[in-house]
């Protein structure tokens, strides 16, 4: 067993106190000491340091009004923030995310993708716009995550497969050249999966199925996204479900992607997915037929995933944000195909429904900051 130095112990105590307050608001110094088994002087010293650094704050008192009441403390969730982008062929979304992983503000604009200086400048303008609208101190920005529909290298600097937007070989340096903050690429599905893990700290093993303008997935093992030996894991969009079926952008036919991409629905309402589900709720026949077809192919897909992974399957992405009211019917369809089970209780809607790709691209900066304390 390696013995820790006094400096290492001090850093661990400080980190443990911060993480405890991050997960639990309004704790007194005594409660912190009791939960972490630390002395009151140690807790007091570290809380004073964290307050001086602007990372935690007093949030009230507890105790009877007749005696001296103990102060309680919480993490200042606005002490730092990160920006996330979600890039698609026709739109860009920007979000500001606080230390709790909550979206403080988001902006979505229609803007055609291109590998051009004008496009990169527009990304910078959008980053500055969401910062301004959120009222964020620029000194508190940890970085900008760029979520995109492509496979990226382990160091988050390059796209090594980008057929959707025809941008294989693109670099983070190109995209962020006008953004004055640390930046990193993020695969859209892995980013959304990371956001889902963030929203559910008890999530151990699952397959996160991203139903966005393209279909992707994130394999979650022991609470972490498993990227695979070639950084290509979870690419469920390219499993064949209809032999010789619809053409896919990858060059094959009958992949999941052309059947379960959100654009199958949003294209019926000028790219507005919310409008599609509004029409579906109103019983509009075209929307109903499209949704019936969509659920059929989705049931094929989730059953295949269940056979392969035998774990919880989380439905996320753009469609996942709207799917909760329709889970009963989808479960019936999936269960009818299952060889081993009479139900599909393994299926559940995502918890992180608000701009999961953009937020997931931003969250690694938040995660790294918390781990650094």
Which of the listed residues 43, 75, 107 is the one where a domain comes to its end? Answer: 75
What is the number of helices (H) and of strands (E) in the chain?
13, 15
Measured CA angle at 88 (ends 84, 94), to 5 deg: 25
Look at residue 76 in the predicted model and tell me its pLDDT: 95
Domain that holds residue 123: 81-192+356-372
Look at residue 61 in the predicted model and tell me its pLDDT: 85
Q: Of the candidates 123, 118, 120, 112, which has an alpha carbon nearest to the alpha carbon of residue 89?
A: 112
Same-domain status, 172 and 222: no
Same-domain status, 211 and 329: yes
Backbone torsion region of residue 250, taken as left when φ is above 0, otherwise alpha when ψ lies between -120 and 50, otherwise beta: alpha
Which of the listed residues 60, 75, 90 is the one where a domain comes to its end? Answer: 75
Check residue 231 and report its DSSP letter: S
Determine the Cα–Cα distance for residues 35 and 14; give it in Å rounded to an integer: 14
pLDDT tens-digit profile, the chain (373 residues): 567 788 889 999 999 999 999 999 999 999 999 999 999 999 999 999 999 999 999 988 887 655 678 899 999 999 999 999 999 999 999 999 999 999 999 999 999 999 999 999 999 999 999 999 999 999 999 999 999 999 999 999 999 999 999 999 999 999 999 999 999 999 999 999 999 999 888 899 999 999 999 999 999 999 999 989 988 999 999 999 999 999 999 999 999 999 999 999 999 999 999 999 999 999 999 999 999 999 999 999 999 999 999 999 999 999 999 999 999 999 999 999 999 999 999 999 999 988 999 999 999 999 999 999 9
**CATH code, 41:** 1.10.10.10
Determine the Cα–Cα distance for residues 98 and 233; give it in Å rounded to an integer: 29
In the chain, the DSSP E strands lie at 27-28, 56-62, 70-75, 81-87, 91-98, 103-110, 141-148, 151-152, 159-161, 183-187, 206-211, 215-221, 224-226, 312-316, 347-349
Same-domain status, 339 and 218: yes
**CATH code, 252:** 3.30.420.40
In 212-293, the DSSP E strands lie at 215-221, 224-226
Same-domain status, 28 and 99: no
Structure tokens at 229: 């030996």
Rg over alpha carbons for the chain, rounded to the nearest Å, is 23
Look at residue 6 in the predicted model and tell me its pLDDT: 84
Q: Of the candidates 255, 323, 273, which has an alpha carbon nearest to the alpha carbon of residue 90?
A: 273
Q: Of the candidates 102, 118, 20, which has an alpha carbon nearest to the alpha carbon of residue 362?
A: 102
Structure tokens at 76: 């200042």
Contact of 269 with 279, CB cutoff 8 Å: yes
Which of the listed residues 42, 75, 108 is the one where a domain comes to its end? Answer: 75
In a domain, 158, yes or no: yes
Q: Render pLDDT for 173-191 as a digit per residue (tens, 0 to 9).
A: 999 999 999 999 999 999 9
Determine the Cα–Cα distance for residues 123 and 138; give it in Å rounded to an integer: 17
In a domain, 1, yes or no: no
Same-domain status, 105 and 63: no
Same-domain status, 187 and 211: no
Same-domain status, 207 and 237: yes
Determine the Cα–Cα distance for residues 202 and 130; give it in Å rounded to an integer: 31
In a domain, 17, yes or no: yes
Look at residue 2 in the predicted model and tell me its pLDDT: 64
CA atoms within 13 A on the CB side of 167: 22
Same-domain status, 120 and 13: no
Same-domain status, 67 and 114: no
Q: Of the candidates 313, 168, 188, which has an alpha carbon nearest to the alpha carbon of residue 262?
A: 188
Q: Of the candidates 242, 224, 241, which has an alpha carbon nearest to the alpha carbon of residue 233?
A: 224
Look at residue 171 in the predicted model and tell me its pLDDT: 98
Q: Give the C-alpha distances (Å, rounded to integers) separating 53 from 47, 57, 91, 340.
A: 10, 10, 38, 55
Same-domain status, 87 and 61: no
Determine the Cα–Cα distance for residues 141 and 28; give it in Å rounded to an integer: 29
Look at residue 166 in the predicted model and tell me its pLDDT: 96
Look at residue 62 in the predicted model and tell me its pLDDT: 80
Q: In what order do the strands lie in the sheet with 103-110?
A: 103-110, 91-98, 81-87, 141-148, 183-187
Determine the 3-state secondary structure of 223 from DSSP: coil
Check residue 44 and report its DSSP letter: H
In a domain, 198, yes or no: no
Backbone torsion region of residue 157, taken as left when φ is above 0, otherwise alpha when ψ lies between -120 and 50, otherwise beta: alpha
Backbone angles phi, psi at 134, to 5 degrees: -80, -15
Total domains in the fold of the chain:
3
In a domain, 262, yes or no: yes
Same-domain status, 236 and 305: yes
In a domain, 109, yes or no: yes
In a domain, 336, yes or no: yes
Same-domain status, 237 and 312: yes
The residues, any chain, with a CB within 8 Å of residue 112's CB and separated by 6 or more, are 89, 90
């Amino acid at each position: 067993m390696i013995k820790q130095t006094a400096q290492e112990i001090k850093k661990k105590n400080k980190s443990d106190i911060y993480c405890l307050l991050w997960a639990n608001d309004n704790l007194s110094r005594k409660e912190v000491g009791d939960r972490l088994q630390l002395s009151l002087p140690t807790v007091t010293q570290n809380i004073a340091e964290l307050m001086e650094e602007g990372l935690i704050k007093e949030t009230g008192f507890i105790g009877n009004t007749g005696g001296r009441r103990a102060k309680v403390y919480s993490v200042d969730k606005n002490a730092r923030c990160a920006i996330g982008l979600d890039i698609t062929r026709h739109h860009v979304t920007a979000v500001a995310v606080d230390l709790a992983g909550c979206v403080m503000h988001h902006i979505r604009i229609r803007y055609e993708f291109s590998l051009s200086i004008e496009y990169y400048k527009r990304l910078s303008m959008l980053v500055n716009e969401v910062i301004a609208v959120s009222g964020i101190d620029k000194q508190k920005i940890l970085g900008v995550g760029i979520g995109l529909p492509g496979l990226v290298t382990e160091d988050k600097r390059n796209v090594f497969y980008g057929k959707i937007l025809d941008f294989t070989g693109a670099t983070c340096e190109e995209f962020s050249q006008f953004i004055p903050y640390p930046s990193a690429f993020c695969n859209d599905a892995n980013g959304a999966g990371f956001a889902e893990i963030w929203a559910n700290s008890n999530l151990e093993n699952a397959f996160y199925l991203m139903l966005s303008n393209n279909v992707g997935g994130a394999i979650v093992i022991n609470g972490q996204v498993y990227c695979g030996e070639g950084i290509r894991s979870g690419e469920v969009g390219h499993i064949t479900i209809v032999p010789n079926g619809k053409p896919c952008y990858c060059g094959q036919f009958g992949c999941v992607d052309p059947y379960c991409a959100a654009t199958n629905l949003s294209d019926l309402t000028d790219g507005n997915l919310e409008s599609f589900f509004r029409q579906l709720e109103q019983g509009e026949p075209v929307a109903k037929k499209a949704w019936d077809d969509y659920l059929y192919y989705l049931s094929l897909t989730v059953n295949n995933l269940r056979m392969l992974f035998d774990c919880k399957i989380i439905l996320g992405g753009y469609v996942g944000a709207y799917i909760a009211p329709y889970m009963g019917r989808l479960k019936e369809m999936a269960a009818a195909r299952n060889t081993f089970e009479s139900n599909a209780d393994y299926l559940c809607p995502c918890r992180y429904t608000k701009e999961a790709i953009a937020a997931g691209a931003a969250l690694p900066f938040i995660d790294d900051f918390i781990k650094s304390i």
